[in-house]
Amino acid sequence: MIELSHASLSELTCPEGLACACGRRHAMPMDYLRVGAGAVRNIPDALQAMGCSRPFIVCDVNTKAAAWDLVRPVLEDTGISYTLYCFRQQRLEPDEYATGSLILAWDSNCDCVIGIGSGVINDCCKVLRHCAGVKQMIIGTAPSMDGYASNTAAMIHDHMKMSVDTDYPDAIICDIDIMKNAPLRMLQAGLGDMIAKYSAICEWRISHLVTGEYYCENIAAMIRAAVQKVSENAAGLSRRDPQAVQAVTEGLIVAGIGMSFAGVPRPAAGQEHFFSHMWDMFDLNRGLPCDLHGIHVGVGTLLTLRMYDILRHTTPSREKAKAFIASFDDTQWQCMIRRIYGPAADEVIEKEHVQYHKNDPVTHKHRLDIILAHWQDILRIMDEELPSLQELEALMQHTGMPMTPGELGFNHRDVQDALVGSRDNRNKYLLSSLFWDLGLLYTTELD
């Protein structure tokens, strides 16, 4: 039995996988994974490990400027022939236009895809490799989000955000000489997506307690160790200190591995991510471009810590919770969902009525009984997992990253709508679900 928190990246991605105390075998076999200064020199080794020889290389104007001068000599010196496709847009969206362009440009003489970029390029390449049925490598250009090693692609289809199931890349190369020169906002976004793991792990444990969903302490410990390393090095991030950039990059990859191991996003995403999902939807509905995922998530993490602070000062009351559920009105709830979700409301309402039944008084009573019986355990989990709001604010302030919804263009109403609408986004037990069960959600004000 191996402790995942002590395993190296290559041990975590070994072909045979790792037996775990949770009863599962965690496996994420990868052909090649290298993080470090000068790592792009290993592209030929990575291609060999993948069993591929002629890559279709995808980049955009920004990622080409960031990495091509280092990548091209490696390919040409070793005689690797390739086809290059460069998106011309300054701001590329991961939508049907981008993926359609790649499919039209695809060169069938190639036997693999190499993406040069971060979230958007990687996600578009995941979709392309899926369609073309070939292997994929990603050469990272910014430590901005935890999707490098994940097996989903965050796409936009018909102006709606959606998550597409794909494979994770067969090879990942993150050259710190490239990553450290990423735009500062992308470095800040990577930190935002990592500090989210504090509240994600806390919520995973609480949900395990309340709903009995699967939880693996070994995966949680692996994520905690990665966040710890990022926090210790965070001060160096705005100076582009290579050690800080390496810690964030490795942390983001470990988070992606954690999600694959668990088979759900729980180890890496909780309530703080749902502020981001809701704000992305508001921006799309308003025809505005979405901000970087990790920037939203960083602000969402501070709001989530404030929610936990509210809980610390709350004495849960069965009477209050019972009065809330007795007065709950489905028609009023539908009106609220229509106002908050706009064009997506029909689907949300139908899913609740046909599939989820979160609002059912019987399931509510069951959860409430557990919450009240285990209130001290919930408080203990919070104490064990969460840093103080002040600690986290100090960490973020150091990098100069946005810390309030106002800095992202969201007003008080947007924060409240994201808060009350978050539990209806999916069938997932969030911190806002706990607030709802206690009869607190619709009366909580966050700023």
Min dist CB 272 to Zn ion, Å, is: 9
Near Zn ion by CB under 5 A: residue from 63, 101, 118, 218: 218
Kindly state the number of chain residues that form the binding site for Zn ion, as judged by CB under 5 A.
5
Q: Tell me how far apart the alpha carbons of residues 392 and 54 are, in angstroms, rounded to a whole number.
A: 46
- The amino acid at residue 187 is L
Beta bridge partners of 95: 156
Q: Tell me how far apart the alpha carbons of residues 145 and 141 are, in angstroms, rounded to a whole number.
A: 11
- The amino acid at residue 346 is D
- Binding part of the chain for Zn ion, among 62-70, 179-187, 208-216, 345-353 by CB under 5 A, reads 208-216
* Phi, psi (rounded to 5 degrees) for 198: -55, -55
Min dist CB 294 to Zn ion, Å, is: 6
If binding is defined by CB under 5 A, does position 122 make contact with Zn ion?
Answer: no
Nearer to Zn ion, 13 or 42 (CB): 13
Cβ burial of 350 (10 Å; 0-12, 13-18, 19+) is exposed
Min dist CB 104 to Zn ion, Å, is: 30
Nearer to Zn ion, 22 or 446 (CB): 22
Near Zn ion by CB under 5 A: residue from 60, 123, 175, 193: 193
Min dist CB 43 to Zn ion, Å, is: 27
If binding is defined by CB under 5 A, does position 20 make contact with Zn ion?
Answer: yes
Min dist CB 366 to Zn ion, Å, is: 26
Structure tokens at 224: 């905690």
Structure tokens at 100: 């359609």
- Binding part of the chain for Zn ion, among 13-21, 72-80, 175-183, 225-233 by CB under 5 A, reads 13-21
326-345 b/e with 16+ CB inside 10 Å = b? Answer: eeeeeeeebebbeebbeebb
Overall residue count recorded for the chain in this entry: 447
If binding is defined by CB under 5 A, does position 153 make contact with Zn ion?
Answer: no
DSSP letters spanning 243-277 = HHHHHHHHHHHHHHHHHHHHTSSTTT-SHHHHHHH
- Binding part of the chain for Zn ion, among 31-39, 47-55, 74-82, 192-200 by CB under 5 A, reads 192-200
Min dist CB 293 to Zn ion, Å, is: 6
Q: Which residues contact 86 (CB under 8 A, 6 or more apart)?
A: 58, 59, 60, 61, 64
Nearer to Zn ion, 218 or 260 (CB): 218
Q: Which residues contact 307 (CB under 8 A, 6 or more apart)?
A: 271, 419, 431, 432, 435, 444, 446
Residue 285's nearest CA partner among 155, 156, 425, 160 is: 160
- Binding part of the chain for Zn ion, among 5-13, 191-199, 232-240, 336-344 by CB under 5 A, reads 191-199
Near Zn ion by CB under 5 A: residue from 2, 9, 14, 22: 22
Min dist CB 144 to Zn ion, Å, is: 10
If binding is defined by CB under 5 A, does position 310 make contact with Zn ion?
Answer: no
Nearer to Zn ion, 27 or 389 (CB): 27
How many alpha carbons lie under 13 Å from residue 185 in its C-beta half-sphere?
A: 7
- Binding part of the chain for Zn ion, among 5-13, 22-30, 351-359, 401-409 by CB under 5 A, reads 22-30
Q: Tell me how far apart the alpha carbons of residues 136 and 152 are, in angstroms, rounded to a whole number.
A: 14
Nearer to Zn ion, 267 or 421 (CB): 267
- Report the sign of the C-alpha dihedral through residues 87, 90, 94, 97, in that order: negative
If binding is defined by CB under 5 A, does position 216 make contact with Zn ion?
Answer: yes
Q: Which residues bind Zn ion (CB under 5 A)?
A: 20, 22, 193, 216, 218
